[in-house]
Amino acid sequence: MEKDIARVLLTEEQIKEKVKFLGSEIKRAYGDKNPLILCILKGSLIFTADLVRCLDFPCTIDFMQASSYGLGSETTGKLKIKKDMDTDVHGRDVIIVEDILDTGVTLSNLIPELKNRGARNVVLCVLLNKPERRRIEVKTDFVGFEIENEFVVGYGLDYAEKYRNLPYVGILKPEVYENN
């Protein structure tokens, strides 16, 4: 896997420090509200696990698998919910935890869906924000890093279900994904 990485964009240490910071920001805003932490699978699993360990207040955790990407590097433009959450969000504060905000297609459809289900409040915590790729604007409440328009993998982010287990965020070499 290492041979496919052009360079490390964010080190393991940089990520740990930012996750700790985001945890303190979330605690300040939601520490007395017992929020639902909604992990968007699969990419956000590692980020969510690290983030919730920084939250020393009551919260619940659930999972949803929603995407607008297939196996490639470009969005299909359509929201696909592959696994729905088990928790009733009616009257709850929901914090969506997402690995990357890229085009905005997935989240621009998911946030209204949760509100339609009766969530009192829906906010967004993203590790990576890539504004250059935005097709639909989405309000972010907690942002880890703003990054350039590079194809990134690692720390949960994948290309064709590979590279998620890298402990850092790296830029994937174009030759790995351009001809697929």
Which residue in 50, 102, 141, 158 is the catalytic one? 102
Angle at which helix 45-52 crosses helix 12-30, to 10 degrees, equals: 60
Q: Is 93 a catalytic residue?
A: no
Residue with tokens 């009257």, as numbered in its chain: 91
Three-state DSSP at 130 gives coil
Q: Which residues pair with 170 in a beta bridge?
A: 8, 153
Q: Which residue has the tokens 């995407």?
A: 67
CB 156 within 8 A of CB 46: yes
> Shortest CA distance to 145 belongs to which of 105, 94, 101?
101
60-40-150 Cα angle (round to 5): 140
Cα Rg for the chain, rounded, in angstroms?
16
Taking the alpha carbons of 92, 28, 54, 97 in that order, is the dihedral positive or negative? positive
Enzyme catalytic residues: 102
